[in-house]
Structure 1
């Protein structure tokens, strides 16, 4: 008889997990925390994310090796502009294409009108939906069970998890459960990939994040950023040119700042974040152009990763 111990067979699983919810529920923070990388931009302002962002995460538990394809979606709200409609459409497409949908709820805000509308639509899709209560570190524990019960009356959730995306509380249990719940499938991406977003788009997004963080009121929502040039240099660095489109001349003046002080600060911080993400030196050059009605142009929407709408 052979003394060799049989090798345990490892099962491969792979699937898409969409993170949906109202603006500012913490979707981008959750994606970044789960993947351990800055893939989706984050700011305290609502509606920061404008398109679907894919985060690729490997997770092993017992005899299962899973590739979890996390999809961060724009916050769902009542759209007004073509840009808004494209953002909301991207969010719902992300959910409809997923194997599992995570409805992320800000525990402090509870069941708002927006949350109720999202829940009603999720109920009609009859897809696998899990409830994830976020920011549970900021609310009394005794309030979580009644909130869970009220939400479960709106949608028949398959599972419920309570987490703090900011602190990382409860995320290991959530990831283990997702790894075991995904369908048997070969991996769809190389195991060392973090996202399918092109570097050009990541560069523009990090610039836009700084606009959200460094400007106020309507300006972040009236701007977009596009990478015009992305050149690999012989020394391993990269030269990047990004154009920021604004709706009004006044917005252009505010973004540039006195003697170019604000645009310089935006560029410095975006360059630092990009160099960390790409793991190489980056030379970032910013240009600000006034372009009224950019948020109604199909070309501008395609450039920032949104599909056309009829």
Structure 2
């Protein structure tokens, strides 16, 4: 693969080249990982930055419907929108449905939109293992907005906050114990809470839910990266396309304030540092798995633990000592 040519085509906005590059970065083959590093290095100097928006929410809240309506509104304003959707993978077969393009039929036909579903595989945190690198490719391809849709697993979807500029939490009205189910962790990371399906008979319930979350947000500790009135809760209807423009204006206000006050650059730097540490940890685990002697030793210690001849703590300390990492 000619990496220089691929990089040039991505910078030129060629969608097929972008799709091919994302396939490359998702590969686990050692030669493909080497090509991925060369590609990302070649694209590093473009200086292009998109607004990265992470979208999380419980299953059935209407994330795909919201993204399609929201994306159609943005492309209608002349913006180029990339959607990176993450589908859950089966723990048994490892397969994924990857049906996001089917669910976003209108947006998938838009010239200024790019939709790429990816399997979560064994990655935790609601995003795929290489979503961050896919975001970098979309920025190099000169997209204005990158929407990162998580798998919809609830409280654990906090990893997307480490690759997004804005973290949007979507909730449904009249969710019963949903206020307890979402828990404090993910709410503390949310910049804007959008109560979806605020239409028809559900509109009064949506407003009540919005008020409950607005009250809950006021109880949270003030974050330095937020101006007054943020984070906030709002009502939207993706189906009726109501409230989307207002939500977009609030996102732009928050983004502009953070850029003007230096929080945008600080957060991007913190995220880069975080993903450096993650990549090192993944590399260490991969080496452990690739070395035949280490695999054999892990298997032997695992069998010893299973038989009850050694505790987990002692076995792990022995393994780390052999790796030279200490106890």
TM over 0.5: no
Higher fraction of strand: 1
TM (normalized to structure 1)? 0.39
